[in-house]
Amino acid sequence: MEDNSTDTVVAQSNSSEEEIHATDIVFDCPHCNHSLVIDYRGAGLEIDCVECKQPVTVPIPAGMIIDDLDLSTGEVLTQLFQTRRTLLKSEQRIATLEESIDSLKLRRKELEKSRITTLHRCAELVTMCQTMLKQNNDLVGSINRMQSIISEEQQL
Ligand SMILES: [Zn+2]
């Protein structure tokens, strides 16, 4: 099957018997590792993986410059817009991630603070338990002493 259409750039699975051209870009989906093949004009575009349907950015082969693409002005503009949209999305994602890092840091600080408070309170409880045990021992000692005095008195 020969497809010389210059208008469609569609990713294919690398598993079929489709011929892979020297100009094709072969790469693995970062989500599902499915091997994908796309025409070189797809470089830098965001496409949906044919296997898992997740958005995937087609890698730009090392050394490939925009002149290699031999695109029409419209195609270049489309790629430019798509690249900028991807960039914008990435920037938004970065901002969101930075926000969640900040809130996680804050949360961590709060948890650390409450952990130290809990440790102090536990130490206070341990001290109180030790005091109570000591008082209990004193009490047992006194009771024993009283019992022995009573039995001594009873034997007289
Ligand atoms: Zn995939």
**Residues 47-100: tens digit of each pLDDT:** 999 999 999 999 888 776 656 566 677 777 888 888 888 889 999 999 999 999
CB neighbourhood size of 41 (10 A): 19
Exposed / middle / buried, residue 56 (Cβ in 10 Å: 0-12, 13-18, 19+): buried
**Residues 19-57: tens digit of each pLDDT:** 777 778 899 999 999 999 998 888 888 899 999 999 999
29 C-alpha to ligand 1 centroid (Å): 5
* Element spanning 30, H or E: none
16 C-alpha to ligand 1 centroid (Å): 16
CB neighbourhood size of 58 (10 A): 20
Q: Where are the domains of the chain?
A: 8-70, 72-156
118 C-alpha to ligand 1 centroid (Å): 47
